[in-house]
Amino acid sequence: MESIVGEPSRLPLQWIYPQQNETRPEPTATSFLALDLDQQRAWNEFWPQSGTPQTWDGIAHLDGSLGSTWVLIEAKANHPEFCSPPSGATAQNLALIKRSLAETKTALSVHRFFPWHGTYYQYANRLAFLFFLKKIGIRAHLVFLYFYGDCFPDETPCPGSPDHWRELIHACHLTLGLGNEHMLRPWVHDVFLRVPAP
């Protein structure tokens, strides 16, 4: 894991979710963190506390010489789910979301005219979440896990190779106005995993 978290591989990840025979629902937003009062207040001011929060496909952490580091997993297996729909938040919540997305875009040198609450909103709000953690001093990495070679019974289009995924990711970045290098880039990782043949 040295390429992801900057710690020697002898320090294994400690998985918070999922675990063997997992039956719990996916963790949401900051539910896996023990935020202090100031951090919780900052989160309340950064993101709506009602509506649909971020959900995580996997969460792990390790404790190394630099302190605790979190690894957040967002997994995708097909093209339609990657092109997530716009935010469905209420007007009041959307106003806060837009403000926080705008703050994130500014930090990542994205022009304000690129909307982040439309197509690829899920990708954008994951970046905003990572930005927030960095802002309040919590070490974290965001891993986008892309499965390829999957086959859905309804013929949902599934990328057949890492290169196919890279094309889709490039289109996402163009739509969001996201450059190849930005402030969060060292902590955002694309991992490609082949789905075993049946």
**Per-residue b or e along 100-132, where b marks 16 or more CB atoms closer than 10 Å to that residue's CB:** bbeebbebbebeeeebbbebbbbbbbbbbbbbb
Element (H, E) at 189: strand 188-194
> Which pLDDT score is estimated for 12?
79
Domain ranges (residues) in the chain: 56-194
pLDDT grade, residue 13 (50/70/90)? Answer: confident
pLDDT tens per residue, range 172-187? 999 999 998 999 999 9
Instruction: Answer positive or negative: Cα dihedral of 137, 188, 124, 71.
Output: negative
Among residues 121, 136, 112, which one has the least CA distance to residue 38? 136
- Bridge-partner residues for 194, per DSSP? 148
Predicted model pTM: 0.91
pLDDT of 7 above 50: no
pLDDT tens per residue, range 27-62? 999 999 999 999 999 999 999 999 899 999 999 998
